[in-house]
Chains A and B, each alone.
Chain A
Amino acid sequence: MQALRLFTLVTAACLGLLGCGRSEQAKAPAPAPPPAAAPVAPAPFRVGAVELGNAIGADKRVSVPSSAFAPTDTIYASVATEGASPSVTLTARWTYEDGQLVDESSETIAPTGPAVTEFHVAKPDGWPTGRYKVEITASGQPAGEREFEVR
């Protein structure tokens, strides 16, 4: 009888161990392989900030943003863009007071990421005082504008 009880205890212990072993296996499955990295699509092109100033740095950004200029200043508009495009034409249209055209110039670019494009205008005999505006378009679509004053 004692032998039978001992046998039962040993068998139960063994089954318990086996069960635990199975349980452990279930808790620790083999690590799944990491998912394949999906190709990253380039960000769509968009125009960001337009800033005005009377000087730019090597990065084409205006050194000190301003909206008031002296008649002798060269006026810079820096246009920050993001994203990629095989070809986009940025145009700066400068107007005076009631819309009189001052100048219009374009730059065609093929950005592959963040970029800065600058436009500048100068008038050797000095700017007439008054209010001006520069409008930026990207391939014909309005992309930003800034008003400024010459005084």
Chain B
Amino acid sequence: MAGDKPKPDFSNVRSGSSSTAPSPAAPPPERYTVVAGDSLSKIAKKYYGDASQWKRIFEANRDQIKNPDLIQPGWKLVIPPKA
């Protein structure tokens, strides 16, 4: 209707929150033991449903993986939680 007041725009509202209470403990990261025939892409596909996410696993295991194309059966890899 012509007499209706236009609705205000709140799209630029900035908000935030904080608490004196602690945050819930993060769940421990999942671990995966590499088996023969595995690759980081294969593991990423298994956990994230997306093979291209292999870099996340690589980055989380840089202390163990020197070459992302070479992972050894028996290695225990940290699997970061889904983004």
**B12 in contact (CB, < 8 A):** yes
Whether A121 contacts B24 in the complex (CB less than 8 A), given A60-B18, A107-B19, A116-B19, comes out as no
The 4 A-B residue pairs with the shortest CB-CB distance, nearest first, are A115-B21, A117-B19, A109-B21, A111-B21
Report, as a range, how many residues of chain B touch the other chain: 10 to 19
Residues of chain A with a CB closer than 8 A to B12's CB: 123-125
List B contacts of A81 (CB < 8 A).
21
**In the complex, what's the smallest C-beta–C-beta distance from A87 to chain B, in angstroms?**
4
> Per DSSP, are chain B's interface residues mostly helix, strand or loop, or mixed?
loop
- Give CA–CA (A14, B20) in the complex, Å: 74
**Residues on A close to B: CB < 8 A?**
59-60, 81, 86-87, 90, 92, 94, 96, 100-103, 105-112, 115-125, 128
Instruction: Give chain B nearest CB distance to A85 CB in angstroms.
Output: 9
